Each structure stands twice: as C-alpha cells, then as structure tokens.
Amino acid sequence: MGKFIPLSVPNFEGNERKYVDDAIDQGWVSTGGAYITELEKKLAEFLQTQNVAACQSGTSALHLSLVEAGVKPGDTVLVPPLTFIAAVNPVKYQFATPVFIDCDDSFCLDPVKLRRFCEEECSFEPAGSPAGGSEESPAGGSEEPAGGLLRHNGSVVKAIVVVHVFGNMADMEAIMDIAAQYNLKVIEDATEALGTKYTTGRYAGKYAGTIGDFGAYSFNGNKIITTGGGGAVTARDPKVVDHIRFLSTQAKTDPHYYIHDEVGYNYRMTNLQAALGVAQMEELPEFIRRKQRNFEQYREEFQSFDLAKLVPFREGIESNKWFYSLDIDRSRVTASMREIITSLQEEGIQTRAIWGLINEQRPYENEETYKLEKAPYYAERILNIPSSTQITPEEITYVADKVKQLLRSLANG
C-alpha cells in the first residue's frame, strides 16, 4: 500500500500556531478573550448577518436554537432521517418528539412531503389554542399572537430542523413558505455548509444558515474550517443571538455576584479554539476554491463511468462542496458497503458510507416516520470519497481509478 489518502482532515497552512501561541501568552485560554469576539465578528461579516455567537459545538448551537425557539417537553419537531445523529439528539434534550420526514434527491428535507405531513397529519389551530403559541418570545420580546400546527395526538408542532447535507442546500424557498403558513420555527443545520449560498431566486446571495430563524455551524475536525471542536449560531433577530450568548455562559445576570435568573449552559467556545478559528477564517475562501476545483476533477474522472456517478449539487447555489458522494448502481454492484470500504482501505483510500438512518438507531426506533422512500434508498447506495483541501490532483486520479477498478471487479454482468 502506498500513501494513505484520508477522507477529510484539517488544514493548518496559515496563522493557526501564531494566534494560538498569542492566546496562551496573553493567558486567555478559556471562555473569555479577544479571539472569541474576533471570530464572531469575522463570521458575521462573512455570512453577511448581524450577530453570531461562538459556542462549544454544532450540537450545542442546535440545542441553544431549540431552547430559544421555545421547544418544550411534548412538542413535536420535524427532522430528517438521513444525516448525522447530532442534528436530532438536541430535540431529545428538550424532551420533545422528533418526526422523521423523508429527503429529496439533494439528501436534504423534502418540502413536498413536509407540506403533505402538515396537511394530512396535523390541523392548524387559531391563536389562543394550545398550538397558537405565546405572545412572549423566549428572549422576552413581544410577538403578535398567531395560530399553530397541532398533530392529531394533540402535540404542538413547534419547529423544523433543516440540514444542508454535505454542503448542499435544501429547497429553502419552499420550506420557508411552509413554515410561514403554519407558524413553525426553522432551524438551519448548516454544520456542513459554511460558505454555501444561493445564486438565484428569492434568496440569491444568502448563505446557508442565514435564511431560517436560526442557523447552526460546526467547526469539528473534519469540517471545512475547524477549531478542534467548536461551533457557532446565528439568528434572524440579532437580539436573540445576544440571549443565546447569555445562555451559553451559564446565564449570569450579574457575573460579579453570581446571580442567575435563567437556566444556562456551559456552551461557550474557548479563546484557544477561537484563535484557531480566526486563522481558519482567513483561509476559508481558498479552502472553498480548492473543494470546488477538486469536485470538478472528480466529476471528470467519473463522467463516463457506468457503475457509480458523482452526485451533483443543487442548481442555483454555489456550494462549498464539503463532501463528495458517489451513487453506486446497486442493481449491478451488490457487495456490502463494508466490503467496498474495507477493500479501498487496503489500497490506502479512506471512504465511508453515508449515515445509518437515525430512525433505525436504538434511541429513535419507536419514533414516527413519514413516507420514507428516498432516505433508505440513498442509505444503501452512497459512498463518500476523500475530500480534504490538501488532496492533490494525482491522488484524486488514484482514488478514482481504484474505485472504478474495485466496482468493476464486484459488478454483476
């Protein structure tokens, strides 16, 4: 076996060491310091949003969004089945109930089935009903009373979690129309889509995570930029972001005398992580450029291959192209995904299957699903291939050749 080609690893080509050393020299290493503020500023400028709060992880960003959206025990949250389980676990943190809605061919939430669920499995209740919501927002601001969506079992449908899978983008025009009609909060899980934006339509120029009520980002080690761990959250209302930041630091109303008027969380990013993030933000445009260039080479490599196709991204968007997906022809290649992944590993190529469906995992196997067809279809077919920003053209060709060679050897007929 020659050189090992990893699936996705961090890239530290810039000022990472310099800024981290500076944070250590200043003595600001925990959840306070200038680098946290600087990272929040850089993210807000990049995303063209007014306010961003840096936090501990993408999961904590999602959890804080659900808290701020007013999701309470017994409420229903509509979620996708084909994503990483961290997108759904925070629903359980709030003792709410997930309902799994199918994906479309982008791997993102299917707005057609989302609307059908709202129409067929729910009723819209007027203001003042259990589903009508409160006139007080979680952040303390006043809102006009509105109606709400009530499931047939009496549970209030409070929010939708929309995941922009692999740097793709969901059909936000359709989803936002549904959310507006039924008074649902939209939480965008943009943990894989930092830098992806619409180029056409109503939201032209808008980045993933800045369209819904809340947007969550992740800086885990395999993401397009990393702070080791870490994440961030934004919201349509900048005052809501201020309240999220407040909650993420244990809700200290008076930090000098340790007065707390709300239940808070230890969800703030550390200054060391933020120092890494500031350096990574300087490199983000170049990272996106490389991801897009490498995707184009893979597209050419697999263009005429009949046993697998490189999955395209939605038209009308400019994607960060974080992860690359091969759709394997299961009518001709029936070998297990484990066998495919193991065989490629022996050639020095790290790959992975798309996630196991969340509704089939033990904590969720008894939860409700709605018309799942595309999600199980793609769960059996999708293979992710190396997508690091450091991968070379020669390595991309090697990966493509080995994948094609292996699938030909496994094909029937």
pTM: 0.94
CATH code, domain with 345: 3.90.1150.10
* Residue 62 near residue 161 (C-beta atoms within 8 A): yes
Give the separation between CA 234 and CA 51, rounded to whole angstroms.
6
Low-confidence ranges of the chain (pLDDT < 70): 1-2, 128-145, 413
Give the separation between CA 213 and CA 57, rounded to whole angstroms.
19
Q: 4 lies in a domain?
A: no
Q: 164 lies in a domain?
A: yes
Give the separation between CA 39 and CA 168, rounded to whole angstroms.
24
Amino acid 70 reads: G
Residues 322 and 391 grouped into a single domain = yes
| DSSP state letters, 190-236 | -TT-TT-EE-SSTTTTPBTTSSSSEEEEE--TTSSS-BSBBEEEEES
Residues 268 and 224 grouped into a single domain = yes
User: Quick one: which of 59, 357, 29 has its CA closest to 220?
Assistant: 59
Phi-psi region of 230 (alpha: psi -120 to 50; beta: other; left: phi over 0): left
CATH code, domain with 117: 3.40.640.10
* Residue 306 near residue 329 (C-beta atoms within 8 A): yes
Give the separation between CA 59 and CA 317, rounded to whole angstroms.
25
Environment class of 93 (CB within 10 Å of its CB; exposed 0-12, middle 13-18, buried 19+):
middle
Give the separation between CA 21 and CA 272, rounded to whole angstroms.
9
Give the separation between CA 303 and CA 9, rounded to whole angstroms.
26
Domain assignment of residue 338, given as a range: 283-410
| DSSP state letters, 105-142 | TTSSB-HHHHHHHHHHSEEEE-TTSTTS--SB-TTS-B
Q: 9 lies in a domain?
A: no
Strand 148-151 with 122-125, pairing: antiparallel
The predicted-structure confidence for 2-48, as pLDDT tens digits, reads as follows: 689 999 999 999 999 999 999 999 998 988 899 999 999 999 999 99
State the Rg of the chain over Cα: 22
User: Quick one: which of 226, 158, 156, 160 has its CA closest to 191?
Assistant: 226
Q: 111 lies in a domain?
A: yes
User: Which residue in this structure is represented by tokens 């395999």?
Assistant: 222
| DSSP state letters, 38-59 | HHHHHHHHHHT-S-EEEESBHH
The predicted-structure confidence for 335-383, as pLDDT tens digits, reads as follows: 999 999 999 999 999 999 999 999 999 999 999 999 999 999 999 999 9
User: Quick one: which of 102, 160, 96, 156 has its CA closest to 124?
Assistant: 156
Q: 7 lies in a domain?
A: no
| DSSP state letters, 57-117 | BHHHHHHHHHHHTT--TT-EEEE-SSS-GGGTHHHHHTT-EEEEE-B-TTSSB-HHHHHHH
Residues 232 and 292 grouped into a single domain = no
Note the pLDDT of residue 133: 56
Note the pLDDT of residue 137: 45
The predicted-structure confidence for 79-99, as pLDDT tens digits, reads as follows: 999 999 999 999 999 999 999
Count of domains observed in the chain: 2
Residues 368 and 240 grouped into a single domain = no
The token pair that represents 319 in the structure block:
């994607």
Residues 318 and 329 grouped into a single domain = yes
Note the pLDDT of residue 135: 44
Which of 236, 260, 280 terminates a domain? The answer is 280
Residues 287 and 249 grouped into a single domain = no
